Amino acid sequence: MGRTRTADWGTFYVTGGGSGIGRHLAGLLAARGASVAVFDRSTPAEVRGEIERARSDVDQQVRTAEVDVCDADALAAAVAEAVAAIGAPRLAINSAGVSINDRFAEAKREDFERTVAVNLFGSRNFAAAVLPHMGTGSRLGLIASLAGITGGYTYAGYAASKAGVIGLARVLRLEYAPEGIGVSVICPPEIMTPMVRQYDATMHPATRALKDVAGTLPIDEACREMLDGLARGRFTVIPGAKARRAALMTRMLPERVTTAVADRIVARAVKSAGRNDL
């Protein structure tokens, strides 16, 4: 993989930068010379310090704003303030997201609505906040998920919201291409973040079995692949060779084949879990 081209990414905006993928991306872009604006409900002081220490030049600015992506007006105001302070974003990534998972029959309606509100409406709100400030050669990235392409056991709210993000990104790409603004959708497999580690302890065996098909990536490897794909101007960015293979199989193989394979994986996992409960 060649060195990521980030010469035009002098200003980077990211939601969910207080932890996980957003936090790691902020550090990587700061190390590559970008001023960084982080939008999150809470950004600990140690995270801001970590980003500042990663800078390649002390003149790079680091700005944080406490805001919820579900609050469209507050997010738009926070972005406008950042533009006035450090300049318009050359690269903007929506990384804020939640994953509240259970089998559909046991899942709460409120959890489904919260997941869609943060993952899908939050993507819409960030796009609406940053795109008016972005110019030719800039790029917006919306983080979806491989689950938005393949689905997943216990993932009703999550997969539905991420599929919506993919659809939103397709429309934005078409509408903003004439203005010279690139739009990408990032569809990672499982990435080792604090949110994933927390969920892993209670994950259903069928969920685990399906995730293993696409593999799990260390956060640094995943984020570097994301930035490389964005720098190459790709619309769909899928980090991880196993994940790209899983997405290709879902899109190219006959549906009867892909559903049969998935059903077999789930059946084996459910049967195995039943034996373990005896």
pLDDT along the chain (278 residues), means of 10: 58 96 97 97 95 96 97 98 98 96 94 98 98 97 97 96 98 98 97 74 87 94 97 97 95 94 94 64
Q: What is the CATH number of the domain that holds 117?
A: 3.40.50.720
Q: Supply the pLDDT for residue 69.
A: 98
Q: Supply the pLDDT for residue 103.
A: 94
How many folded domains does the chain comprise? Answer: 1
Q: Supply the pLDDT for residue 275.
A: 56
5 domain residue, yes or no: no
205 domain residue, yes or no: yes
Cβ count near 147 (within 10 Å): 26
**H helices, E strands: number in the chain:** 12, 9
Cβ count near 204 (within 10 Å): 18
Tell me the residue range of the domain where 83 lies: 11-277
1 domain residue, yes or no: no
User: Helix, strand, or coil here: 165?
Assistant: helix
187 domain residue, yes or no: yes
3 domain residue, yes or no: no
4 domain residue, yes or no: no
